Structure 1
């Protein structure tokens, strides 16, 4: 997953400020899990539309 995509997900999920202040190690485990879930959803939606 690209760094840009990770930052976009962090913004979308509401913990971008934490990443800015503390780095990726500062986010909660729950936030990391939600980020992975959201990335999977986006990939599945793209795949169902025939996109890569």
Structure 2
């Protein structure tokens, strides 16, 4: 899915460095996966399975 986002460039670049991801898409996907995983761990988000 394509979408347009207005993200802080400095934060995005830092996230790419610390996660060793080569693309903006990859770092955003990784961040979303981690967010969902963390929320499920503490019982905030329901499982999708």
TM-score scaled by structure 2? 0.49
TM-score scaled by structure 1? 0.47
Larger radius of gyration: 2
